[in-house]
C-alpha cells in the first residue's frame, strides 16, 4: 500500500463552514463515534470509518488529530486499492481524489490505527463545483464486535520483525477480525488496545485491563462512556489472554474474571453469540483456561458461548511483523479459521 503525505494546508473559516454542512447527513459512520464535540465527530477505536457517495470530479476532506500529534487512515475510492494518508494535528485540507469520471463515486476513510496513536476528528468533505452528495451506502445487516489486544488491532502487520512498532505499519483493515467481518458482509466494531489483558496488561498494569477499558467511548479518555444501546452486535469475538500469559496467572482468577466479563457482555447483548478465542501465539496454559471459562458459562446455561483456539503462528513460512506481531499473511489464515467457525455458529 502506498504512503501518501500531503503538504499541510490549513483551511479558512469559510471553508470549514462549508465542509461542516454535510457532516451529519451525507456519510455513513461505523464504530464508536464521539459526537460531543461541535467541531465534528471523533473516531478513536481502530477500524472506525466514514463512507460517502457523491457525484463530482474531485473531493477534499477536512480533518485533524486529537490527543496525539499525528495519525494514519486509509482512503479508498470506488472500492479500489486504498492509500495511506498521514493526518496531522491542526485542521488541514486533504485532497482525496481529482479528475474523477462522471457518475456516482464512493469514498471510504478508514482508521487504520488504534486509539493510543491518536483520535481523528472529521470536519467534512467538499466537492468540486457542481458536485452533490448522495444517500450514504446502506449498512450491512449483520454485526460483529471484535474485542482484543494488539493482534486484533493489526499492530505491526505491515512491518518487519526487527523494527519497533510504528503507527504507519498498523493496518486494522488487514487484521483477522476485519477480514472475516467484511468477507461475511458484516458491519464491525473493533474494541482493541495493544498490550491489554484480561487480568493483567503487558506492562503488569492490573488497573486498566480490558474489562475496564471496554466501557469507553474513547480508549484513552478514562471518563468517556459508550452507550451500548447505540449498537448491538449479532456476534462478539474475544481474543484476550496473550498478554496475561507473560505472567504466572492464577487459573481460577483468570477463569473467574473471564466469566464475569462475558456475563457483562451478555447483559449488554442478550441475544448475541460469543466466541472466546486465543492465539496465534504460545497458548499454554491459557488455552485450557479459555476453554474452561467457556465450558463453565455453558454449564451455567448460556449455550450461545463458544471457544476457538487459533492455529499456532508459522514463523518459518509466514514470518513476523514488527516486534514479533502476526503478519498480514498470518492474519489472513486466522480470518479463514474464524470465518469457518462463524459460518458454523451463525449460519452465515
Give the sign of the dihedral formed by CA 323, CA 108, CA 147, CA 291.
negative
For 297, phi then psi, to 5°, come to -65, -40
Q: How many helices (H) and strands (E) does the chain have?
A: 8, 16
C-alpha cell at 131: 458536485
What's residue 216's pLDDT?
A: 98
Write out the residue limits of the CATH 2.60.120.260 domain(s) in the chain: 13-133
pTM of the model: 0.94
Q: How many CB atoms sit inside 10 A of residue 96's CB?
A: 18
Please tell me the distance from the alpha carbon of residue 144 to that of residue 147, in angstroms, as a whole number. 10
- The pLDDT of residue 18: 59
Handedness of CA 155, 188, 225, 118 (dihedral sign): positive
Give the integer Cα–Cα distance in Å for 192 and 205. 16
- Output phi, psi for 308, to 5 deg: -145, 120
Instruction: Bin 84: left if φ > 0, else alpha if -120 < ψ < 50, else beta.
Output: beta
Cβ-Cβ contacts under 8 Å for 252 (sequence gap 6 or more): none
Please name the residues in contact with 7: beta carbons below 8 A apart, sequence gap of 6 or more.
Answer: none
Res 90: pLDDT:
87
Question: What are the start and end residues of each CATH 3.40.50.1110 domain in the chain?
Answer: 142-346
Backbone angles phi, psi at 104, to 5 degrees: -90, 135
What was the pLDDT predicted at 11? 66
Considering only CA atoms, which of 93, 124, 121 is closest in space to residue 17?
124
Domain 13-133 -> CATH class = mainly beta
pLDDT given for residue 9 in this prediction? 64
- How many residues in total does the chain contain? 348
Residue 15 and residue 70 in contact, taking contact as beta carbons nearer than 8 Å: no
Alpha-carbon distance values, 180 to 93, 169, 211 (Å): 33, 20, 24
Per-residue pLDDT of the chain (348 residues; tens, 9 = 90+): 444 555 556 666 666 665 544 577 789 999 999 999 988 999 999 999 999 999 999 999 999 999 888 899 999 999 999 999 999 888 889 999 999 999 999 999 999 999 999 999 999 998 988 999 999 999 999 999 999 999 999 999 999 999 888 999 999 999 999 999 999 999 999 999 999 999 999 999 999 999 999 999 999 999 999 999 999 999 999 999 999 999 989 999 999 999 999 999 999 999 999 999 999 998 889 999 999 999 999 999 999 999 999 999 999 999 999 999 999 999 999 999 999 999 999 999
pLDDT, residue 10, reads 67
Q: What is the CATH number of domain 142-346?
A: 3.40.50.1110
C-alpha cell belonging to residue 341: 467457525
Amino acid at each position: 500500500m502506498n504512503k501518501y503525505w500531503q503538504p499541510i494546508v490549513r483551511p479558512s473559516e469559510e471553508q470549514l463552514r462549508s465542509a461542516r454542512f454535510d457532516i451529519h447527513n451525507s456519510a455513513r459512520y461505523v464504530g464508536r463515534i464521539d459526537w460531543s464535540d461541535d467541531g465534528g465527530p471523533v473516531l478513536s477505536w481502530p477500524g472506525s470509518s466514514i463512507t460517502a457517495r457523491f457525484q463530482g470530479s474531485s473531493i477534499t476532506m477536512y480533518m485533524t488529530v486529537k490527543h496525539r500529534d499525528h495519525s494514519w487512515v486509509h482512503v479508498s475510492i470506488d472500492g479500489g486499492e486504498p492509500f495511506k494518508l498521514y493526518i496531522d494535528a491542526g485542521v488541514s485540507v486533504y485532497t482525496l481524489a481529482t479528475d474523477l469520471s462522471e457518475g456516482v463515486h464512493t469514498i471510504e476513510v478508514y482508521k487504520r490505527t488504534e486509539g493510543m496513536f491518536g483520535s481523528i476528528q472529521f470536519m467534512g468533505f467538499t466537492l468540486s463545483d457542481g458536485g452533490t452528495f448522495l444517500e450514504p451506502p446502506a449498512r450491512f445487516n449483520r454485526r460483529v464486535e471484535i474485542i482484543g489486544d494488539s493482534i486484533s488491532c493489526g499492530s505491526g502487520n505491515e512491518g518487519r520483525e526487527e523494527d519497533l512498532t510504528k503507527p504507519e505499519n498498523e493496518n486494522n483493515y488487514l487484521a483477522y477480525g476485519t477480514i472475516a467481518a467484511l468477507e461475511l458482509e458484516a458491519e464491525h466494531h473493533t474494541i482493541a488496545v495493544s498490550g491489554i489483558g484480561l487480568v493483567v496488561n503487558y506492562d503488569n498494569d492490573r488497573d486498566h485491563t480490558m474489562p475496564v477499558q471496554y466501557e469507553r467511548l474513547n480508549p484513552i479518555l478514562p471518563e468517556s462512556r459508550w452507550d451500548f444501546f447505540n449498537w448491538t452486535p449479532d456476534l462478539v469475538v474475544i481474543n484476550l489472554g496473550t498478554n496475561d500469559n507473560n505472567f504466572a496467572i492464577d487459573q481460577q482468577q483468570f477463569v473467574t474474571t473471564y466469566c464475569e466479563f462475558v456475563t457483562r457482555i451478555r447483559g449488554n447483548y442478550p441475544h448475541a453469540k460469543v466466541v472466546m478465542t486465543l492465539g496465534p501465539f504460545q497458548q499454554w496454559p491459557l488455552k485450557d483456561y479459555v476453554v474452561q471459562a467457556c465450558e463453565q458459562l455453558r454449564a451455567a446455561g448460556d449455550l450461545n458461548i463458544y471457544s476457538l483456539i487459533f492455529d499456532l503462528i508459522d514463523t518459518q513460512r509466514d514470518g513476523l511483523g514488527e516486534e514479533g506481531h502476526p503478519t498480514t499473511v498470518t492474519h489472513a489464515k486466522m480470518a479463514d479459521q474464524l470465518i469457518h467457525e462463524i459460518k458454523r455458529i451463525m449460519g452465515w
